[in-house]
Copies of this chain bind each other. A is one copy, B any other.
Amino acid sequence: MTNKKITLTDIAKELGVSKTLVSLVLNGKGNANAINKETQQKVINKAKELNYKPNQVARGLRTGTTKTIGLLVADISNPFYARIARIIEHYADIEGYSLIACSSDEDEEREKKLIRMLTNRQVDGIIMASTLQEPEAIKQLIDQKYPVVLFDRYFRELDCNYVGVDNKEAAFQAVSLFIRKGHKNIGFLTLTPDHISTLKDRRHGYVKALENSGISLQSDLMLELNYEELKNKHYNQIKEFIIKNNQITALFTTNNSLAVGCMEAIKELGLKIPDDISLITFDDVELFKYTSPSLSSIAQPVEEIGKQAVSILLKQLKTGELENIRKELKANLIIRES
């Protein structure tokens, strides 16, 4: 394996020219610097011949820019985040950026560690759906002029780029639909940590819809599930919840995993959706169309969210100006059988 790594210096030496010359040519700045066409061609040929590979790390150290974006979410394998990741990867790639993807597992300490990791790695910017309660760690980034785009989740107290949907309105619409259909005892299932903005907003939408129709809020009908338990598919709490509150005829869940948990629990209890209990969930998953029954859901404009997130980040990377762009999109209530 003769394959010693080829560097700029190797090419320069072989050709008897300077590193600068080679660097310029290989970076397409040959013409701008009025370098002899012939010389340019020689350099290019030699680079190909030696199978030269520019060392991005060295370039990164020198230029202070790594062409890398950090993507931080709760769980990269959750269909919602997985789809967003793919879209972000796509748009980032167009501009030559790669993604370091990481999952916080809804663990605040872990998220802080990951933020540190990403900045240590000198990623040029971060796109994240944060699980933090206090955005102090993110504020520090911004104070250091670090480009950050939040998506899905925001912080009221923090001036930061953001793209997401109007969660309160979407939840309001879904629950209002239940009410119009005559449901009075509508359960609300959500996750902890419950300080997450999306979850809070969805809860507000639920409460508002009830208020709006003069239905009094029963705190019994609201259940919070622990993220870890949910991840390990411990659906017992959901079952107990349904048994204890057997007046419930409709359920609103704040994410796709909860909806799956409900399907399982309801099935195990021998109940039927929607005959016994109706279900609408936040976040659409492709297969919800084919479940039994097909699940009604609130679909976020995933493509647009990912695209906007990258677009905002890249703009600020290019200009160096950290504006403060907030995009609130509309979610789409998809009514199916459930």
Chain A residues within CB distance 8 Å of chain B = 1, 3, 53-58, 60-61, 66, 68, 75-77, 79, 82-83, 85-86, 89-90, 93, 98-103, 116-117, 119-122, 143-145, 260, 263-264, 267, 285-288, 290-294
Contacts and interface: CB of A to CB of B under 8 A. Distances in A.
A268 to B, nearest CB: 12
Given A122-B57, A286-B260, A145 B82 contact: no
A144 B285 contact: no
A145 B290 CA distance: 47
A120 B3 contact: no
A82 B93 CA distance: 19
A249 B71 CA distance: 45
Contacts of A294: 292
B99 A101 contact: yes
- Ranked nearest first, the 4 interchain pairs of A and B with the lowest CB-CB distance are A292-B292, A77-B86, A287-B287, A82-B82
B121 A57 contact: yes
Contact of A290 (B77, B83, B292): B292
A82 B77 contact: yes
A60 B285 CA distance: 40
